[in-house]
Amino acid sequence: MGAAASSATAPSPVTAASAAATEAAIPGAKVAEIFIYPIKSCSGISLPSAPLRPTGLRWDREWMVVNEKGRGVTQRVEPKLAFVQVELPNEAFLEDWEPSQDSFMVLKAPGMEPLKVCLNKQHEVANGLSVWEWSGSAWDEGAEASQWFSDYLGKPSQLVRFNTASEVRQVDPDYVKEHHSTFFTDGFPFLLISQESLDSLNEHLEEPIRINRFRPNILVEGCEPFSEDLWSEIKIGRFSFLGSKLCGRCKVTTINQETGIAGREPLETLATFRSGKVIRPNGKNKGAVYFGQNLVWNWNDSSAKGSGKVLKVGDPVYVLRKVSSPAEMPA
């Protein structure tokens, strides 16, 4: 989590040699869980499968809450967002499903009546919105949604949806050479973490924590702890992904997603063995703490053509290229 730092060199695009290695690759891991977070900083949804889009998993961070200045609101300042439960129709996770006027996203939160947000309607455009380095327009989800979040947070708020008709939010070209875009993520379409990395961290903590502190899209299992640091090119099932940068973690990881209370962990413990000073002693951002890796989907790869662009729990993970140490990965 956190805004992306600048001045780094991304791993090179897929080469013929690395593509040829796919057939010989041995699955070293598999997908254990898949998560999306339809509204930025609100609760996630665990899925057995999710359609792939160049901007990320379908529906992921397509909405966000903004304050009266149009700035994106996150748990960093409003931890109560952790309690906002998001429900989408079951059919929304079919690859080619399109919503009708009777298709809704339903929001629930303590002390609030459920809010229904239509997934297919004409929107008014809200201008002057921003999240991290990006600014532009978004679709306003209307007065009822604004009032709901304003009442819940106790201050003027607005629910907006990414304006796919006119906006493109490009991934930082300092990290990704080819053109990739995303919606309201912190900067990259995908975040991958291994269960073994979480297990290793929990061995250092007095009170174990859940993966929801880190808000990944893809949780894998069956590899060595923190081996995902080294993956510069992988395949999940038949889809190619490129490692973009190690994920620097922020205050949100310290917020208990069940209580909304912030503490000092896990950042305090992670800093002892996962800081830039420790794992990237000759690099920049020595004070940053890293956990997980940001990815982009190589959607121009020939294996991504046609139908069936769906990521599934149980898909094997093939490591096609890797570096020898985290110091060699962008961060």
User: Scanning the structure block, which residue is given the tokens 């093939």?
Assistant: 318
Query: Would 5 be classed as within a structural domain?
Result: no
* C-alpha pair distances (Å), 121 with each of 89, 101, 238: 16, 7, 35
**Residue 116 belongs to domain with CATH number:** 2.40.33.20
pLDDT (tens digit per residue) in 189-229:
999 999 999 999 999 999 999 999 999 999 999 999 999 99
Q: Is 179 helix (H, G, I), strand (E, B) or coil?
A: coil
Query: Would 7 be classed as within a structural domain?
Result: no
Give the Cα separation of 75 and 215 in Å (integer): 12
pLDDT band for position 177 (cuts 50, 70, 90): confident
> Which pTM value belongs to this model?
0.91
Q: Is 154 helix (H, G, I), strand (E, B) or coil?
A: coil
Q: What pLDDT is recorded for position 136?
A: 97
167 has pLDDT over 90: yes
Residue-averaged pLDDT of the chain: 92
Query: Would 86 be classed as within a structural domain?
Result: yes
pLDDT (tens digit per residue) in 247-261:
999 999 999 999 999
Query: Would 8 be classed as within a structural domain?
Result: no
Alpha helices, H only, the chain: 16-20, 143-153, 195-204, 267-273, 276-279
Query: Would 250 be classed as within a structural domain?
Result: yes
Q: Number of structural domains, the chain?
A: 1
Query: Would 4 be classed as within a structural domain?
Result: no
Residue 67 domain boundaries:
16-328
Give the Cα separation of 232 and 188 in Å (integer): 15
Query: Would 73 be classed as within a structural domain?
Result: yes
Query: Would 109 be classed as within a structural domain?
Result: yes
Question: What percentage of the chain reaches a pLDDT higher than 90?
Answer: 85
